[in-house]
Amino acid sequence: MAKVTDNPNSYDFPIGKVRGHEVQFISNVPLEDFDNNVYLKAEFSSNVDPTKVKANITKGSNFETVATVTLDANGEANVTEYINNSSITYQINFEWGGSDEEWQTLKDNAITISDAVLTLKETGGFVHGQTGNAYQYPIQYIATDFNVDSNIDDQDSFDLLAHVLDVADVFVKYIEDTFSSGFAIVPSAIYNAITLSNWSDNDLPDLGDGNFTVDLTNGDVILAYKTAMWGDANLSHGTVQDNSSGSGQTFSIANSSSIQSKSVSRYTLADSTVDGTLISELKDNGEVHVEFEIQSDDTAALQLKVSYDTSRLQFKEIVFYTGNNTTNFGNAEYSSVNMGSLNQSGDALPSGSTMKIIFEPLETLTSAAGLVSITNTDAASTEGLQQILNLQ
């Protein structure tokens, strides 16, 4: 494909000779006479916004900068004008294009109480005697094998629980708290080739040095990637493997144009609901009390994220009434409160349990309306299955 630009217009010549007037210039000279396109296609969970992700394309042994492209809402970009030579090597490095706060929000949404419960269940720490029944995909093991010892055990489940409880951040404790470190964007051929045995044998498919070449003589080239996130045990923000048995495809990104189908399936665990109420009240002393009450009796863990109007409210404290044997957690950061409760024995939180956020007013308030909203919820049943909140 060649491109002629006549500012501000340009025209792509998909095939044949390039024609331009004297006042025009050739803005993209193909190094080879080919008619094919090169597409970058990264598959993301529908819970992740790919437009926040940038792909840095470099080339050669010196990683010479070629271009930085932003992915579209489908995780795709046409990179034909940047990757246009069959005889040199390229590299693609992905980075976060959003703000620090958006990266924090992504982590908060991706790694929640049902991830911790699922891992507790996988290790037998939640429902005794159920070890090894919780995970379905090798990716889940890699995402939660925090100490990378090719084994999922109590230490991993406690690490994930501690992360959700805001005790120790697994992005800080084990890796770097950056997108490129905590969010894996892996060539699909490698991703699909990962098996449980090559993970447990510490013999994962070789990611190589990131260099790849393209064959531009044989149809469009699709550079396909799949994604998963550190700590995201239930893959709520990751993608499942096309071939979960991973029966030994060999990695060759140059041939990845043969990958025809794009799986959009998501690993779904939400198959029941938890009932609850949320009541906001303006008290006589000016404080605003926001109380959540659980009304179901088969919920073992529950997490709520409540955002509030920081121009009118200041967070004071959280008060829990969740019975004995329950671990409660909560903190406030940016403009939201993250709080929850977990019964580590896998027993139910008693129906009628409450968690109450107390805010102090920053100005005289006449009503509690419109000051707070629930922005995210997560819950897990006594069976370890994810539950969806149904506010009454």
Binding marks (x or -) toward Ca ion, 258..297, rule CB under 5 A? Answer: ----------------------------------------
Using CB under 5 A, which residues numbered 351 to 390 contact Ca ion?
none
- Verify binding: residue 122, Ca ion, rule CB under 5 A: no
Taking CB under 5 A as the criterion, the residue among 58, 84, 140, 236 binding Ca ion is 236
Q: Does 145 bind Ca ion (CB under 5 A)?
A: yes
Instruction: Tell which one of 43, 81, 115, 242 touches Ca ion (CB under 5 A).
Output: 115
Q: By the 8 A CB rule, do 147 and 133 touch?
A: no
Read off the tokens for 173: 């404790």
Continuous segment of H or E residues that includes residue 265? none
Least distance (Å) between residue 115 CB and Ca ion: 4
**One-letter identity of residue 63:** F
Taking the complex as a whole, the smallest distance from the CB of residue 112 to Ca ion amounts, in Å, to 6
Of 116-124, 144-152, 168-176, 338-346, the segment contacting Ca ion by CB under 5 A is 144-152
Is 309:359 a contact under the CB 8 Å cutoff? no
Count of positions on this chain that bind Ca ion (CB under 5 A) = 9
* Contact positions with Ca ion (CB under 5 A) in 318-357: none
- Give the DSSP H/E element, type plus range, for residue 340: strand 336-342
d(CA 111, CA 235): 9
Q: How far is the CB of 14 from Ca ion (least distance, A)?
A: 42
- 81/115 with CB nearer Ca ion: 115
Q: Residue 288: which residues within 8 A CB-CB, separation 6 or more?
A: 280, 281, 282, 313, 358, 359, 361, 365, 368, 371, 372
Q: How far apart are CA 372 and CA 278, in angstroms?
A: 10
Q: Please name the helix (run of DSSP H) or strand (run of DSSP E) that holds residue 371, with its range, or none.
A: none
Nearer to Ca ion, 81 or 145 (CB): 145
Q: Phi and psi for 110 in degrees, rounded to 5?
A: -85, -35
Residues 215-234, mask of contacts with Ca ion (x by CB under 5 A): -----------------x-x
Longest dimension (CA), the chain: 82
Taking CB under 5 A as the criterion, the residue among 102, 149, 220, 360 binding Ca ion is 149
Q: Which of 291, 272, 269 minimizes the C-alpha distance to 282?
A: 291
Q: Which is nearer to Ca ion, 81 or 159 (CB)?
A: 159
Q: Tell me which stretch binds Ca ion (CB under 5 A): 32-40, 48-56, 114-122, 351-359.
A: 114-122
Shortest reach from residue 20's CB to Ca ion, in Å: 52
Q: Which is nearer to Ca ion, 114 or 192 (CB)?
A: 114
Block residue for tokens 């994604």: 227
Report, in Å, the least distance between residue 234 CB and Ca ion.
5
Stretch that binds Ca ion, among 73-81, 149-157, 195-203, 208-216 (CB under 5 A): 149-157
| Sequence-separated (6 or more) residues with CB below 8 Å from residue 330 | 166, 318, 320, 337, 338, 339, 340, 355, 357
Give the Cα separation of 175 and 320 in Å (integer): 33
Annotate each residue in 54-93 with x if it binds Ca ion (CB under 5 A) or - if it does not, as one string: ----------------------------------------
* Cα atoms found within 13 Å of the Cα of residue 277, Cβ hemisphere only: 10
Q: What is the DSSP letter of 356?
A: E
What's the closest the beta carbon of residue 102 comes to Ca ion, in angstroms? 17
Closest residue to Ca ion in the complex (CB): 236
11 in Cβ contact with 3 (< 8 Å): yes
Rg (CA), the chain: 25
Question: Which of 147, 245, 258, 331 forms a contact with Ca ion (CB under 5 A)?
Answer: 147
Residues that bind Ca ion (CB under 5 A): 115, 145, 147, 149, 151, 156, 232, 234, 236
